[in-house]
Amino acid sequence: MVTASFVWNVCKSSLTFGLIGLTISDRVASIVPVRGFSMSPTFNPDKTTYLGLFTDDHVLVEKRCLTDYKFSHGDVVEKHMIKRITGMPGDWISLPYSYDAVKVPEGHCWVEGDNPTNSLDSRSFGPIPLGLIRGRVTHILWPPQRVGKIDHRSFPQGGFAF
């Protein structure tokens, strides 16, 4: 028969581990699935499995970079979606299929997907505030054959800073 003290100890342990896990995922790092094709071929290069089951890449998002917002060109970041930084504050970004250029304002960055034909990014909604970035993607953790560190290319196939 289960005693009240046993139930109380299980509840305390569960709550303690839950709070520790929440603190780690909020302050240090978290694991996030990457959905869609906007960052292909960096993420999700092959989505031919039935209904996409077990084919989404899962990545490690480190959050220590948020204390001083130290980001650079080529960093892959998360802000509700995962994109690559192609422009930092003060950079001029040329827009594709246009003669226009946009200056990235202070406190903002320009993000683009590695697959420009299938990406909703700054070319559609403009620069994003650095304060909205949730973290920097550092490693692919799943699937096992793709585990490794993220390549920090300077600029993807889309626009470029000058």
User: Is position 83 annotated as part of the catalytic site?
Assistant: yes
Judged on CB neighbours under 10 Å (0-12, 13-18, 19+), 141 is middle
More confident residue, 156 or 58: 58
Has this prediction a pTM greater than 0.85?
Answer: no
Q: Which domains does the chain have, with CATH numbers?
A: 29-149 (2.10.109.10)
pLDDT of residue 23: 63
Q: How does residue 129 score in pLDDT terms, banded at 50, 70 and 90?
A: very high
Tell me how far apart the alpha carbons of residues 132 and 86 are, in angstroms, rounded to a whole number. 16
pLDDT digits (tens, 9 = 90+) for 65-81: 777 777 888 889 988 88
- The one-letter amino acid at 89: P
The beta-carbon contacts of 51-56 under 8 Å, at least 24 apart in sequence, are: 54/143, 55/143, 56/142
In which element (H, E) is residue 31 found? Answer: strand 29-34
Ramachandran angles phi, psi of 60, nearest 5°: -95, 125
Catalytic: 38?
A: yes
Highest mean pLDDT among 55-59, 89-93, 139-143: 89-93
Mean pLDDT for the stretch of residues 34-50: 79
Catalytic residue among 63, 83, 119, 122: 83
Amino acid at 100: D
